[in-house]
Structure 1
Amino acid sequence: MSKRILVVLSEYGYWGEELVGPVEAFDARGYQVTFMTPTGKRAQALPPSLDADYIDPPLGRSVTTRDMARRAAELDASDRLDNPLSLQSLVPERPYYSALNHLREVEDYHRRLDSALTDLVSGFDALVIVGGSGPIVDLANNERLHEVVLGFVAADKPILAECYGVAVLAFARDLESRTSLLWGKHVTGHPKEYDYKDGTGFIGVEFNMGPPPYPLEYILRDATGPDGAFHGNVGKETSVIVDHPFVTARSTPDSELGGRKLVEVLEDGLRRYGW
């Protein structure tokens, strides 16, 4: 039976290559790929990620080849991204503590959550959180997505997170302990040196945020704790870390390798790579 992969995309823009890389690796193995967004709205690629002439400010060069721009544009325009699953529809929302009948509402929430996660997690072999600037807006602090991540971890199923999608792993935590899932783990992610100083952009939002609203590297360094580590691998062309059940990819050039490593985790039992 072919593997089934759940791919989560931001509705505020994903980076083209960071979707193409994993999806092409999965397609090559005959995996079934299902897409999901926060509210079921169709995801769109960030325009710079489809432009081979766009110069990435921190690196001072294009990070998208003409061939990759073509492949990303074809996938972005295809009907594969139409009608994604809606996270909002599938996973309930935790009630506010100010709710009038809070205890009963929380009990009901946990019943519905357990049922939703059982159905969702059992239907897939792995979870992928695609990067780009969009995840900063609607994925990083999305409590519904945090619950999905916790569900996959509890089921010992692997998760690939790329670029700013790695923030989801740092923030996903059980409310009893509030400890990051990354505590004691080795991860990579967007390092401070590669962050924009200006021009962080989103689909459907007409303003210049300037730099990213948080330095992901600092968050990951804190989240991994004294027994884990953040690996920026600044100056190296690729940075992918496997510390089961997590596969983390730093940025755009790492998406193909990240996809291949997730395949190795699923098919060969890979548990450690890159550190």
Structure 2
Amino acid sequence: MSKKILFILSEYGYWGEELLGPLVACDRQGYTAVFATPTGKRPVALPPSLDPGYVDPPLGRSVTTPEVAVAARELDESSRLDNPISLADWIPERPYDSAPNPLRAMEAYYREIATLAEDIAEYDALVIVGGSGPIVDLANNGRLHELILAFIRADKPVVGECYGVAALAFAREWDDRKSIIWGKHVTGHCKEYDYKDGTGFVGVEFNMGPPPYPLEYILRDATGPDGQFHGNVGKETSVIVDFPFITARSTPDSFLAGEKLVEVLENGLRRFGW
């Protein structure tokens, strides 16, 4: 039976290559790809990610080859992303403690959350696609956190790319609030790669300037004294496999991340990159 991979994309802009890389690897293996967004809105690629002439300010060079730009645009304009699953329709929202009859509300919430284990049985892995969009609607998305936790409990691999890795740092069991990447080795968008100005999002006329938080600092804290953040600054690629997590630093790591996901699923790879 074909393996099935669940891809999570932001509704505020994904980076073209960061979807294309893992998706190409999955397509090559004959895996079935299923897409989901926070509210079921069709995801759209960030315009700079489709432009081979766009020079990434921190790196001082183009990060998108003409070939990748064409392939990413074709994917973005195809029908594959037309009808994503809505996380809002699928996964309940944790009620406030101030809600009427909060104890009954929480009991109902946990009953619904318990069904996620059955819901994800058909999936073999989770991929959180990167870009600036995840800063807005994925990093602190409680529904996504519950989904990530369900995959971890099921011992299934979870891929995080670029700023999509933030969702892994913030996904925590409600009781102890301890990051699920505590004690793990991860990579992610390092401080050297952050924009000083120009962080933008699809559908929002707003220049945030730099990202609202430095992901590297969050990952360093979230992994704790027994884990480690690996920026690998100066190295062309940075992908870390510390099962069940597969983390990718940024755009140039997208295809390698896809390859490593296949190795995890097909060959039992458990460690790579450090």
**Match runs of 1:152-167 below 5 Å:** 152-167=151-166
Over the aligned positions, Cα root-mean-square deviation in angstroms equals 0.5
Partner of 2:64: 64
Partner of 1:256: 255
Contact 2:240 2:246 in 1 (8 A): yes
Partner of 2:218: 219
TM-score of the aligned structures, taking structure 2 as reference length: 0.99
Partner of 2:128: 129
State yes or no: 1:229 paired with 2:228. yes
Whole-Å Cα distance in 2 between the matches of residues 222 and 251 of structure 1?
20
Stretches of structure 1 lacking an aligned partner (at least 5 in a row) = none
Q: Moved runs in structure 1, 4+ residues, more than 2 A?
A: none
Question: Secondary structure at 2:150's aligned position in 1?
Answer: helix
* Letter of the structure 2 residue corresponding to residue 221 of structure 1: R
Whole-Å Cα distance in 2 between the matches of residues 85 and 52 of structure 1?
30
* Letter of the structure 2 residue corresponding to residue 156 of structure 1: D
Cα displacement string for residues 188-218 of structure 1 (whole angstroms, at most 9, x for unaligned residues): 0000000000000000000110000000000
Whole-Å Cα distance in 2 between the matches of residues 190 and 70 of structure 1?
24
Percent of residue pairs bearing the same amino acid type: 72
Partner of 1:47: 47
Partner of 1:83: 83
Question: Secondary structure at 2:80's aligned position in 1?
Answer: helix
Whole-Å Cα distance in 1 between the matches of residues 171 and 120 of structure 2?
16
Question: Secondary structure at 1:131's aligned position in 2?
Answer: coil
Partner of 1:105: 105
Question: Secondary structure at 1:5's aligned position in 2?
Answer: strand
Question: Secondary structure at 1:6's aligned position in 2?
Answer: strand
Whole-Å Cα distance in 1 between the matches of residues 67 and 100 of structure 2?
56
Partner of 1:25: 25
Whole-Å Cα distance in 1 between the matches of residues 133 and 254 of structure 2?
16
* Letter of the structure 2 residue corresponding to residue 48 of structure 1: P
Q: Alpha-carbon deviation of 1:112?
A: 1.0
Q: Alpha-carbon deviation of 1:118?
A: 2.3
Partner of 2:246: 247
Partner of 2:38: 38
Stretches of structure 2 lacking an aligned partner (at least 5 in a row) = none
Partner of 2:267: 268
Q: Alpha-carbon deviation of 1:121?
A: 1.4
Question: Secondary structure at 1:81's aligned position in 2?
Answer: coil
Q: Alpha-carbon deviation of 1:33?
A: 0.2
Cα displacement string for residues 41-75 of structure 1 (whole angstroms, at most 9, x for unaligned residues): 00000000000000000000000000000000000
Whole-Å Cα distance in 2 between the matches of residues 64 and 120 of structure 1?
36
Contact 2:117 2:154 in 1 (8 A): no
Partner of 2:14: 14
TM-score of the aligned structures, taking structure 1 as reference length: 0.99
Whole-Å Cα distance in 2 between the matches of residues 46 and 223 of structure 1?
28
Cα displacement string for residues 224-245 of structure 1 (whole angstroms, at most 9, x for unaligned residues): 0000000000010000000000
Cα displacement string for residues 155-174 of structure 1 (whole angstroms, at most 9, x for unaligned residues): 00000110000000000000
Whole-Å Cα distance in 2 between the matches of residues 206 and 105 of structure 1?
38
Partner of 1:144: 143
Q: Alpha-carbon deviation of 1:2?
A: 1.1
Whole-Å Cα distance in 1 between the matches of residues 166 and 119 of structure 2?
22
Q: How many residues align?
A: 274
* Letter of the structure 2 residue corresponding to residue 71 of structure 1: A
